[in-house]
Amino acid sequence: MPITGRNAKRVLFGGIDLQSARRVVLIRSHAGQADAQAFLRTLRRRYRRAGWLWLLTDRASAHTAPQTQALAARLRIRFVWLPRQAPELSPMDQLWRELKRLVAANRQAASIDALAADAAAWVLTLTPQQACRKAGMASKHFWLRKMLQNFWRPT
C-alpha cells in the first residue's frame, strides 16, 4: 500500500498469517522487485522453522518477475495468485483499507516516515481477534473459511 505526501513515498508490504493472525510489515521507499524480494526475505526470517510458506498475492510485476520467483523458490515460498482486479479477496487489502480510513485519511503527519511508522504500528498492534475481524477473516462469508476451520476458530 503506497503512502505518499510532499513527493515523498513509502510503501508498506504486509502479510497476515491466516492461522494465527500474526502480521508482518516491511516499510520501503519503493515498490519494485528488490523491495518485494526484501519482503520475501523478511517473511522467511519470521517463519524460519516453517516448511513451505504460501503467499496469497496479486500479480504485480514485482511479484511475477523471474528473479522474484526464483528467490521465492529458494526460500520455499509459493505464490497463490489472486484473480485480477479482486482486492476484496485479500485479507491484507482489507486491513490496508481500514488503516487508510483510521490512520491516514485526511490527516497531516509530521513526516512521511512518521506516517509510515504509525501505519505499521497500527497493523502490528491489533489483537489477533481485531486483525481477523478487520481483515474479514472472521466473517462467515470469508472465502477461505472452510479451509481455515481446521486451524483457527474466531472468538
Taking only the tens place, the pLDDT of each residue in 44-54 is 999 999 999 99
Structural domain of 34: 2-50+87-148
In 8-150 the beta strands, taken as DSSP E runs, fall at 8-16, 23-28, 53-57, 77-81
Residue 81 lies in a domain: no
- Structural domains of the chain, count: 1
Considering only CA atoms, which of 140, 128, 145 is closest in space to residue 17? Answer: 128
Residue 10 lies in a domain: yes
The pLDDT tens digits for 80-101 are 999 888 888 899 999 999 998 8
Residue 112 lies in a domain: yes
Residue 62 lies in a domain: no
Residue 13 lies in a domain: yes
Residue 60 lies in a domain: no
Residue 58 lies in a domain: no
Residue 75 lies in a domain: no
